[in-house]
């Protein structure tokens, strides 16, 4: 009996020393990372990146400024220093940060700034004011907010690599993320929840459809919307 007990004990310790099975070990695919970008109205950028394979979640919000806990009304003044941005949670085993940034240059026009002082919507805009389409102001500027040195290096290298594709200088800011503020609930997943809203039909959906074709061409479109 003692020898049997000894054998069982030895077998138990041997089993305990074996590597855990795949079912018991967190999969590398379960690990996610985050990216923060802004390219104009966050309704547009959100709708675009929700279609990217490997993206788990997109949150619209504000970042890049100094105002604490800004509201949408604060942002619209253009005086908070914040830009409308999105937080992208993604699976790096499916889509990398580098790919997210490379797609960023196609998702909007990163060179869009006023060439001369002008007045728009009854407001004076000095030369160099960022804009996307008909949205003018610093809150719509092109921006990448990095969370670590590796993201900074990737973003800067990508900006340099893509500059020859544009006639004008890329105006995208590449700055460290200090704080991300989630926007009000009604801004989240705006296109899907408001498909017939005027701005969505005239601006968001056309931009999303164009981006969808880019993803299809590159084999990066999600198989189904999640």
Catalytic residue among 35, 37, 41, 85, which?
A: 41
pLDDT at 159 over 90: yes
Give 4-18 pLDDT, tens digit per residue.
444 434 444 444 444
What local confidence, expressed as pLDDT, does residue 130 receive?
A: 97
Give 169-183 pLDDT, tens digit per residue.
999 999 999 999 999
> Could you confirm whether 76 is annotated as catalytic?
no
Percent of the chain residues past pLDDT 70, beyond the cut: 85
Residue 30's pLDDT band (cuts 50, 70, 90): low
Task: Please report where in the chains the tokens 């993206």 appear, as a residue.
Answer: 55
What local confidence, expressed as pLDDT, does residue 29 receive?
A: 46
**pTM above the 0.95 mark?**
no
Tokens of 14: 């041997």
Give 109-151 pLDDT, tens digit per residue.
999 999 999 998 888 999 999 999 999 999 999 999 999 999 9
User: How much is the mean pLDDT over the chain?
Assistant: 89
Question: Among the residues of the chain, which ranges form H helices?
Answer: 2-17, 42-49, 72-76, 97-107, 149-162, 190-193, 198-199, 205-218
What local confidence, expressed as pLDDT, does residue 122 receive?
A: 86
Domains within the chain, CATH numbers bracketed = 29-212 (3.30.1060.10)
Give 51-80 pLDDT, tens digit per residue.
999 999 999 999 999 999 999 999 999 999
Question: What residues pair up with 146 in beta bridges, in sequence order?
Answer: 176
* 152-160 average pLDDT score: 98
Residues 6+ apart with CB under 8 A from 153: none
Report d(CA 208, CA 7) in Å as an integer: 65
């Amino acid at each position: 009996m003692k020898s049997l007990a000894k054998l069982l004990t030895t077998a138990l310790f041997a089993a305990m020393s074996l590597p855990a099975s795949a079912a018991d070990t967190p999969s590398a695919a379960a690990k996610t990372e985050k990216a923060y970008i802004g390219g104009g109205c966050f309704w547009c950028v959100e709708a675009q990146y929700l279609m990217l394979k490997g993206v788990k979640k997109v949150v619209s919000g504000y970042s890049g400024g100094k105002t604490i806990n800004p509201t949408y009304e604060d942002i619209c003044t253009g005086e908070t220093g914040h830009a409308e941005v999105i937080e992208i949670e993604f699976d790096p085993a499916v889509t990398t940060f580098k790919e997210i940034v490379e797609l960023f240059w196609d998702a909007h026009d990163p060179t869009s700034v006023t060439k001369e002082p002008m007045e728009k919507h009854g407001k004076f805009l000095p030369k160099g004011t960022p804009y996307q389409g008909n949205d003018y102001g610093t809150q719509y500027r092109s921006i990448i907010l990095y969370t670590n040195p590796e993201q900074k290096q990737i973003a800067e290298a990508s900006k340099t690599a893509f500059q020859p594709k544009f006639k004008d200088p890329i105006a995208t800011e590449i700055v460290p993320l200090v704080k991300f503020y989630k926007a009000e609930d009604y801004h989240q997943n705006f296109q899907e929840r408001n498909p017939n809203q005027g701005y969505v039909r005239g601006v968001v959906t056309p931009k999303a459809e164009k981006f969808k074709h880019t993803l299809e061409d590159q084999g990066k479109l999600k198989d189904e919307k999640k």
